[in-house]
Amino acid sequence: MSTASAPITTREQTEIDRANASGRQPVVFVHGLWLLPSSWAAWREFFEEQGFTTLAPSWPDDPETVDEARAHPEVFAGKSVQGITDHVAAVIGRLDRAPIVIGHSFGGLIAQKLAGMGLAAATVAVDPGPVKGVLPLPLSTLKVGSAVLLNPANYRSQVLLTREQFRFGFGNAVSEAESHDLYARFSVPGSGIPLFQAALANFRFGGDTAADTKTPARGPLLVISGEKDHTVPWAVANATYKLQKKNPGTTEIVEMAGRGHSLTIDSGWREVAETALRFVRAQVPVVS
């Protein structure tokens, strides 16, 4: 697999070497804005128990811990969708076989880009950020994005959601206490660039959020949508499905009842992971 070069961290190389030595089917997890790779810890353990080997690449130059991220927010500035995609593609390029790719939010957008590059054996996009060509822009999405988009200076900067903004954008479908706990455990600053790129994608030719949704090399793809998601509501997820449905490969969508944007990290994460696993097993049955 040929990919653009990107710096590989020591942790990432260790995970690559472990995956290649295992002989098992790799699963690459791609996190979204305002989270870190550690947000996939429970999913990784679950998939490892099911016979897979897992990797969770960072976005370029991301800190490893939430405490470090909050102490040095400036490192999150300047990360573009294509730069992040190139980095994850570089990790995939060092694997011995094409991985299953599972992404959440902007990670779901990036997962679709990687699939369109022919780098994924199968793809699961959970509440995915909109690729170019997805037109709906619901009011709740605009409200979440306004934390960044209302100030043009945020394009090259970074923004940490307040606890109240996180509650609306991520934790609206869980209790207030759980939302505040998730904020303390997982929320980190996010680069402004991806939100501006997504917001302007359909007004510009090409762009970082473009994905090849029609190539047969894309492989099977599942879109998972949280019914109560404010950040990526059903209108956005379903438009993503309709765009991807034009691909000759298997394309499915599942709505998770009563779930919000925190569905990968909150107390109901396992139901979502099991939904992804069922699709993966049906599409890539051999795991070793």
**Averaged over 43-68, what is the pLDDT?**
96
Within 8 A by CB and 6+ apart from 183, the residues are 161, 163, 166, 167, 170, 171
Quote the pTM value: 0.94
pLDDT averaged over every residue in the chain: 92
* Kind and range of the H or E run holding 21: helix 10-22
pLDDT band at 167 (very low <50, low <70, confident <90, very high): very high
pLDDT tens-digit series, residues 80-119: 999 999 999 999 999 999 999 999 999 999 999 999 999 9
Which tokens is 83 given? Answer: 């730069």
- 96-105 tens-digit pLDDT: 999 999 999 9
Q: What is the DSSP string of 165-187?
A: HHHHHTSTTS-HHHHHHHHHHH-
pLDDT, position 63: 94
The per-residue DSSP string of 76-144 comes to: GTT--HHHHHHHHHHHHHTSSSPPEEEEETHHHHHHHHHHHTT--SEEEEESPPPPTT-----HHHHHH
Specify the CATH architecture of the domain 10-283. 3-Layer(aba) Sandwich (3.40)
pLDDT at position 98: 97
